[in-house]
Structure 1
Amino acid sequence: MKVLIATEKPFAPSAVQGITKELTTAGHEVVLLEKYKEMTELLEAVKDADAMIVRSDKVTPEVLDAAKQLKIVVRAGAGYDSIDTAYAKEKNVIVENTPGQNSNAVAELVFGMLVYAVRNFYNGKAGTELMGKKLGILAFGNVGRNVARIAKGFGMEVYAYDAFCPVEAIEADGVHACKSQEELFQSSDIVSLHIPATPQTVKSINYQLVNMLPKKGILVNTARKEVINEEELLKLMEEREDLKFMTDIMPDADIEFKKFDGRYFSTPKKMGAQTAEANTNAGIAAAKQINAFFATGDTTFQVNK
């Protein structure tokens, strides 16, 4: 089978070597398309591909229509909103992700940004410590669990809310389980977001919810840009000079947020999974899933059932 690795933002060279070895050992042909600038390049490359590995690349109906032989697409990472999963299902194309492979990298980034925030962006003035602070985790999946683990090392008190995770599972990890998002925000000095972008969550992080954070509250977003109601958050930060917003997904209103000097930080591009380890883990996991699919029909990680 021909497997296309299509990455506008390429994997690390060592990751490409690992992915290629995994696939070729199983007898598959590997085609590499990196740093492509035009959609036409992807449309041409996918024409005779049986499988495809992508990162944040957009797999649109146009791409799926061009891919006459495509049977499976694997997103090397957890989030898959860049793939039209419904249309892929219509075309009988399996879509999978690789949950958990980037989790530690994202969780560590949360604390990199948090230390930067509580130390006042290293401006020379006295800041505060994370020890003893209450950290709220919104969504207790793979990343949320890693955030909780690291937070305990800092000596933080950890709270979590997840509509789809049993209270018993949260509390088994030594974390306080909240009954609602509202309770989580009210109980926490800091809230870290790990929810996917769905019709229910888009713009759900709004004025009313974030305003429940106590004085000197911090909001951290390493999830998806779309979950933030930017207009309402801007209004709230205008009114509350104590709030800080840290994110690794640059908002559409980045210029407007930048006026809150010392209270807002965004990385230039999404950085959560940008470590050599996560890069390699997710890519090799994607290759193994493709091998399993062609060998036995395994669809354990299918997201468009």
Structure 2
Amino acid sequence: MCPTIVPYTYEAKKEKRIYFTSLLKDMKVLVATEKPFAKKAVEGIRGIVEEAGYELALLEKYADRAELLSAVADVDALIVRSDKVTAEVIAAAKNLKIVVRAGAGYDNVDLEAASARGIVVMNTPGQNSNAVAELALAMMIFMARNGFTPGTGSEIQGKTLGIHAYGNVGKLVGRKGKAMGMNVIAYDPFVTDDALFEADGVKRVASVGELYEAADFLSLHIPATAQTRGSIGYELLMSMPKGATLVNTARKEVIDEAGVVRAMTEREDLKYITDIAPDAQAEMAGKFGKRFFATAKKMGAETAEANINAGLAAARQIVDFFKTGDTRFQVNR
């Protein structure tokens, strides 16, 4: 039987109600992954969880939703990757106190349902960043060299790299682009300190329009929110320089697919490469040939290093939450 959670208030956190659980035992942590973590990651997660005195349960490669609903029934914490934590899952998890999405994006978790139950939701920002950044640069080279097919391509050195959102991944893309001789510009309305851009040798531009108008390669890193969904489409692509390439390692939902198709139809010099297969993938592949490419599955974080880092970070965050009430990476309120 799970012990009672004791409410605790830190004045330094402005009377925010958090869970102080340093005396709790017999907590159960479930790792639920349709696509499992690497063996080394699972071993590391187990070590962190069990050293803290908690129980670890695994649900891997599950094919039926009912398996997940059954598995969450008695758990206090849940670690997932891209698995859907819906309102139904949250309702089935009567003891659930925290969900950690091992990765940066968290749109696979129903935040509203979690918040209604007082469940903390976290992500693990930065753990996959280098893997995604390396993929973004590789995609630029791939498109510049005609998908590695015969014919004269171009180099990315000397080209202007535009970065839309200068967070963990955007910064790494910028630094790697600079190292390869690119001129780097960026736009992020939420990063207000010019010194952060200047320290990386990156020029901050004043608007989205200015960013797209100058970018030979546009690396997209915005999250999928009510404001950004469908925001990248016809007008922005049409404003880009001749031969420009849009690189999407962010989210499918931020793309206005009809607008992209229209722009690429009217301008035969534009290119689009994405790590998230669009709904219109067949149409784009048929119409645009080598000017379009989508990976077979989302693979930005598909490196051994990122897999391990994200899993271990998720386990540590759960332990810190239960031991000290740490909610540093909470994404819901």
TM-score (structure 2 length as normaliser): 0.91
Matches within 5 A, 1:146-185: 146-168=172-194, 169-185=196-212
Show structure 1 runs of 4+ deviating over 2 A: none
2:24 alignment counterpart = none
SS state at 1:241 partner: coil
The DSSP-based 3-state class of the residue aligned with 1:47 is helix
User: Which stretches in structure 1 are left out of the alignment for 5+ residues?
Assistant: none
Q: In structure 2, what is the Cα distance between the partners aligned to 1:141 and 1:215?
A: 27
2:273 match: 246
**Aligned residue number for residue 113 of structure 1:** 139
Q: Would the aligned equivalents of 1:167 and 1:177 in 2 still touch at CA under 8 Å?
A: no
SS at structure 1 position matched to 2:289: coil
State the distance in 2 between where 1:175 and 1:113 align: 21
* Equivalent position of 1:205 in the other structure: 232
CA-CA distance at 1:167 after TM superposition:
4.6
Q: Deviation at 1:50? A: 0.3
Give the drift of 1:172.
Answer: 2.6
Separation (CA, whole Å) in 1 of partners of 2:63 and 2:113:
24
Structure 2: distance between partners of 1:213 and 1:20 = 49
CA shift digits 1:256-277 (9 cap, x unpaired):
1102111011001100000000
User: 8 Å contact 1:20–1:30 — kept in the other structure?
Assistant: yes
Counterparts of 1:48 and 1:58, CA distance in 2: 18
Identity %: 58
Shift of 1:132: 0.2
Query: Which amino acid is 1:283 matched to?
Result: G
Check if 1:192 corresponds to 2:219: yes
Map of 2:312 onto structure 1:
284
Letter in 1 for 2:318: I
- Residues 96-134 of structure 1: per-residue CA shift (max 9 Å, x gap): 000000000000000111111000111111110010000
Give the aligned residue type for 1:246: I
For 2:119, the aligned partner's letter is: V
Is 1:76 aligned with 2:76? no
1:120-135 equivalent positions in 2, closer than 5 A: 120-135=146-161
Larger Rg: 2
Aligned twin of 1:30: 56
Q: Give the 3-state SS of the residue equivalent to 2:152 in structure 1.
A: coil
Aligned: 1:297 with 2:321: no
Aligned residue type for 2:303: T
1:87 aligns with 2:120: no
Q: How many residues align?
A: 305
C-alpha distance in 2 between matches for 1:255 and 1:101: 32
Counterpart amino acid of 1:101?
A: Q
Whole-Å separation in 1 of the counterparts to 2:237 and 2:155: 22
TM-score by length of 1: 0.99
TM-superposed deviation, 1:200: 0.3
- Give the secondary-structure state (helix, strand or coil) at the position aligned to 1:109: helix
RMSD: 0.7
**Partner deviation per Cα, 1:177-197 (whole Å, 9 max, x = no partner):** 010110000111110000000
SS in 2 for 1:30: strand
**CA–CA separation in structure 2 for the residues paired with 1:107 and 1:131:** 17
